[in-house]
A and B are shown apart, each in its own frame.
Chain A
Amino acid sequence: MSDITVHVEHLTKKYGETLALDDISFDVGKGELFGFIGPDGAGKTTLFRLLTTLLLADTGTGSVAGFDLVKDYKNIRNISGYMPGKFSLYQDLTVEENLKFFATIFGTTIHENYDLIKNIYQQIEPFKNRKAGKLSGGMKQKLALSCAMIHKPEVLFLDEPTTGVDAVSRLEFWEMLKRLKDAGITILVSTPYMDEASLCDRVALMQNGRIMTISTPGQVIRNYPLSLLSVKSSDIYHLLGELRDYPGVHSVYAFGQSAHVAFSAQKIEPEALSEFLKKKKHESVEITRIDATIEDCFMELMNSPE
């Protein structure tokens, strides 16, 4: 199948006794923007290190652009761009020197692939004589992405590119990814932020080294089996515990200033719940019916037995 760029079957990786990746299988199509969503320790970085041939899997096989992860690792290194979670360019070299260095070791020049990185690089070009270590977080990200792109890779692996970046830069960054995707580049991106899931074509929700589900963000939400209410009260601390005792409640999570209450029953009566809470002496109770977010789905998947 030529339209599959990344193919992985039953990958398993152990660090000593800890199972970092547990029987992972998935396919990523050509030109797809594929997200791995999961909390810290879910195994995202390990998976990316396996795919970029920095680590060897214990069992399982995989290929990137048709090249075997073990046998053809040299080819993979030529056609993939990797942006590790930790900023790992030379801090004591300038922006331009970093970019030039990575261009030359891939046997190309900045000039040759300038079109590809133009949109991103233009934003940091005014600072091209500044040392990379002296850039702000968002600019570092842009430089790292430029360096990962400079050899015109077929596949991009971005490991938590938006962690530690402000909200505006995050949005900007996703805009850039969209443009790269439109240029036909396959992008695999990992993130701990659930709200970024909706920006991907497809997402894999990961937890404890396992993929819980792979689907489009819309489908993930549609598959949510429960009904949701958002409940607000002045006493959120007691609210959580008391909601759990309410009949028909499946689960309760704190969600910012409110509590998300999931009911397994289809028919729910917000009025009855409101009465119940008032009896418990809660003031200024607000109850709204809401649609599930990726985070609600994630919580549900995390707790449901296989």
Chain B
Amino acid sequence: MRTILFIIQKEFLQVFRNKSMLPIIFILPIVQLIILVNAATYEMKNIRVSVVDLDLSGTSRKLVSKFQGSPFYLLKNSSFSYKEAENKMKQGKIDMILQIPMGFEKKLLTESHANVQFVINAINGQSAGLTNAYSTMILLDYNREVLIENANPSMLGGLRSIQTDYSYWYNPKLNYKTYMVPGILVLLVTIIGLLLSGMNIVREMEIGTIEQINVTPINKIQFIAGKLIPFWIIGMFELAFGLSVGKLLFNIPMEGNLGLIFLSASVYLFVILSFGLLISTITHTQQQAMLVSFFFMVVFILMSGLFTSIESMPKWAQNLDRLNPVMYFIKIMRMVLLKGSGFADISPHFWSLVVYAGCSLSLAILRYRKVS
């Protein structure tokens, strides 16, 4: 036990002597939270629109002003030539063309229906879908107004419609940041944990110090414990620090029990650290370890549900994702922080992490050998 303490002490000495380490621990979380949370957003803002209004009637102008009034749209230019608008789209200067055909108002009044056209740049399918949805909403809204305006009062009573009222739960203002911050924090803990542990043992191999350690009476368990515990402490600290930054900068909700977060984090860190250790034992240089960690990190993070919803992945991918520890922890973080879930709610994810931690830790211990 005393030996473990000495190794931990030595590890901390080395970590804090490393000049790049302190900035990584303290600045990385702030920068990541500020940049990623503000930049990685799905809210569509500033959709650049070109209007081709060939009707130029009161009705068409009203429709255009509806788009202008929306915070999502930016009216870039208007012209009478569809060709010109299309060229602008090709140059990437606009995202959407709103074309109102000639005789739009007349047709609406006489035939009681008329057409407009949206042309949307769909290189990014997701944003195109959102643009379409927003535009359709605006059009529907406009439709209702037209309907009311042109109907005679006697008819109004007979007009039946179903009103939908909705309220958004757990994130009432649909604040994207509230959704992102817990996920970004997981990302942070993962990067720090995986890189620190993945690089560490392999670094000792690279500079040869492992030779000197191996001829000492230190045993495997002591050595691995001495390696894991310091990074575990740093990881936990990093999470606490990140949560504080999230609270101060973004005022993220903390509905649930923070103890639950840290309990899950303590298990999660063991998964990540022993994963890093495992990488350390199968690689020979820091560069290899870095590449292998990077590979796993990219796959884990992209499939973690941080950016895209897991439910919309194909079935096989969802099954594969059961092997993804990042996914479990992001779920737990969001559930506890946003919903205020209790232990019973997160227990399936929690126990999955426990099993994962057990497996990867024993694998790492088995793989690590003092005798080559």
User: Which of A's residues lie within 8 Å of B, judged by CB?
Assistant: 52-56, 73-74, 77-78, 80, 82, 84, 86-93, 97, 101-102, 104-107, 147
Separation of A102 and B14 alpha carbons in the complex (Å): 15
Separation of A54 and B215 alpha carbons in the complex (Å): 7
Interface residues of B in 86-144 (CB under 8 A from A): none
- Which A residues touch B210, using CB under 8 A? 88
- Which A residues touch B217, using CB under 8 A? 74, 77-78, 105-107
Q: Could you name 24 residue pairs across A and B whose Cβ atoms are closer than 8 Å? A: A52-B215, A53-B215, A53-B371, A54-B211, A54-B215, A56-B371, A74-B217, A77-B216, A77-B217, A80-B215, A82-B211, A88-B209, A88-B210, A91-B207, A92-B14, A92-B18, A93-B17, A97-B13, A102-B212, A105-B213, A105-B217, A105-B218, A106-B216, A107-B217
B81 close to chain A: CB less than 8 A? no
Nearest 4 A/B pairs, CB to CB: A88-B208, A82-B215, A104-B6, A86-B208
B347 close to chain A: CB less than 8 A? no
Number of B interface residues at 8 Å Cβ cutoff, please give it. 24
Separation of A52 and B371 alpha carbons in the complex (Å): 10
User: Which of B's residues lie within 8 Å of A, judged by CB?
Assistant: 2-3, 6-7, 10, 13-14, 17-18, 207-218, 370-372
B17 touches A92 (CB 8 A): yes
Separation of A55 and B372 alpha carbons in the complex (Å): 6
Closest to A157 in B: B215
- CB contact under 8 A between A88 and B215, given known A55-B371, A93-B10: no
Minimum CB–CB distance from B278 to chain A (whole Å) comes to: 22
Separation of A91 and B204 alpha carbons in the complex (Å): 11
Separation of A23 and B2 alpha carbons in the complex (Å): 42
Minimum CB–CB distance from A137 to chain B (whole Å) comes to: 15
A93 touches B212 (CB 8 A): no
Separation of A73 and B357 alpha carbons in the complex (Å): 31
Closest to B15 in A: A92
Separation of A86 and B206 alpha carbons in the complex (Å): 11
A105 touches B371 (CB 8 A): no
- Which A residues touch B372, using CB under 8 A? 54-55
- CB contact under 8 A between A101 and B207, given known A53-B371, A89-B212, A92-B18: no
Separation of A101 and B213 alpha carbons in the complex (Å): 10
- Which B residues touch A54, using CB under 8 A? 211, 214-215, 370-372
